[in-house]
Amino acid sequence: MSEGSKGGLLAFGQVVIGPPGSGKTTYCQAMAAFLGRLGRSVAVVNLDPANEALPGPCALDIAELVTLPDVMGSLGLGPNGGLLYCMEYLEANADWLRERLQGLRGHYVLFDCPGQVELYTHHGALKNVLAQLAKWNFRLAAVHLVDSHYCTDPGKFISVLCTSLSTMLHVELPHVNVLSKMDLIEQYGKLAFNLDYYTEVLDLSYLVDHLASDPFFRNFRRLNEKLVEVIEDYSLVSFVPLNIQDKQSMRQVMQAVDKANGYSFGDREHRSLEALMSAAVGADFHFSSTLAVQEKYVQSQDKALEEEVMDL
C-alpha cells in the first residue's frame, strides 16, 4: 500500500472476467489461496448477481444489493437482460460499493465478475464501475479467462481472438489473457500446432489455411482472412496458460498480473514464494505442468521431421 495521487491509499487487485464456464470463480478461490500463502491479505469480491453458490469465503457479495432472480421476477426480464440491469443498478449505486470497499483497504482484491460477454465488449455499465474503482485509487488488471479447449477448433479460436481484442479495447484496463483448464485441453482433441502458437498468437495465416481444408469454412476464407488481419494489425492479444493445480503455472499468471497492475512485493513475500515453490508437493498443488503439453507437441513435431528426412 502506498499514497495515491489524490491522497488516498492505493489498493491493488484483479478484475476476473470471461465467458460462462471459463473458471472465473474457481480461479478467484485458487489465486486467493495461492497469494495467501505468500502473505498477502486477499479479499474476494463477488460482482456476479447470478452466482448464488459461492464455493469459498467472500468478503463482499453483490447479492447484498441486487440478485438476478429478483430482477428477473420483478421486471420480467430474461437472464441476459437481467444481468445488464443488475450492472446498471450497481453503477447507479456506486456509493454502496465504495462504502463496502472501504473496509477492504489494505487487502489485495479479486473481483469475480459476471460471465456475459456483452458486458466486456460494448455495454457501458461495468466499464463505468471499473472507471470509478480507478478514481478510488484501485490499481487493477483485467484477467480475461478463456477455456483452453477453444484451441482445438481453429474457427472457435479465431472467434476467441476477436472477443479478447474487443474486450481489451472496451474495458480499458491493463490486460492479461489466460487460457484456463490447461490440464484438460487434450480431452477435446489434438492441437493442430504447438502450444506456443496459440499462447503467442503467431502467424495466423496458417490457421486460415487450416480452416480452408474444412469444406464448411472454405466459403468463408475471405472473411477469416480479414478477421485475422484486424487481430494482427492491433498485435495486442497473447495468452498465459493456466492450470490452477500447478504451482509454476499459478506463479506465471501472478507475475504477469503483478507486472500489468504495477504491484511490487517485498522481500518477505519473495522469500515466501521461494519457499512455496521449493516445498514438497502437497495435496493442494500438483505438478501436472503445462510444460508437459508443450514438450509433447515439440517431440511429436521432431519425430515427424525425422520421418520426412528418412523418406527423402
Which three-class secondary structure string do you get for the chain? CCECCCCCECEEEEEEECCCCCCHHHHHHHHHHHHHHCCCCEEEEECCCCCCCCCCCCCEEHHHCCCHHHHHHHHCCCHHHHHHHHHHHHHHCHHHHHHHHHCCCCCEEEEECCCCCHHHHCCCHHHHHHHHHHHCCEEEEEEEEEEHHHHHCHHHHHHHHHHHHHHHHHHCCCEEEEEECHHHHHHHCCCCCCHHHHHCCCCCHHHHHHHHCCHHHHCCHHHHHHHHHHHHHHCCCCEEECCCCCHHHHHHHHHHHHHHHCCCCCHHHHHHHHHHHHCCCCCCCCCCCCHHHHHHHHHHHHHHHHHHHHHC
- Dump pLDDT digits (tens) for 151-183: 888 888 999 999 999 999 999 999 999 999 888
Across the range 177-199, mean pLDDT stands at 85
Domain ranges of the chain: 11-194+241-264, 202-236
- Dump pLDDT digits (tens) for 76-86: 999 999 999 99
What CATH number was assigned to the domain covering residues 11-194+241-264?
Answer: 3.40.50.300
At 9, is the pLDDT very low, low, confident or very high (cuts 50, 70, 90)? confident
Indicate the pTM of the whole model.
0.83
Task: Considering only residues 266 and 20, tell me which one the structure prediction assigns the higher pLDDT.
Answer: 20
- Dump pLDDT digits (tens) for 115-152: 999 999 999 999 999 999 999 999 999 999 999 988 88
Q: Is the pLDDT of residue 311 over 80?
A: no
Q: Is the pLDDT of residue 25 over 90?
A: yes
- Dump pLDDT digits (tens) for 35-63: 999 999 999 999 999 987 788 789 999 99
Q: Is the pLDDT of residue 264 over 90?
A: no
What is the per-residue pLDDT for 55? Answer: 80
What is the per-residue pLDDT for 57? Answer: 82
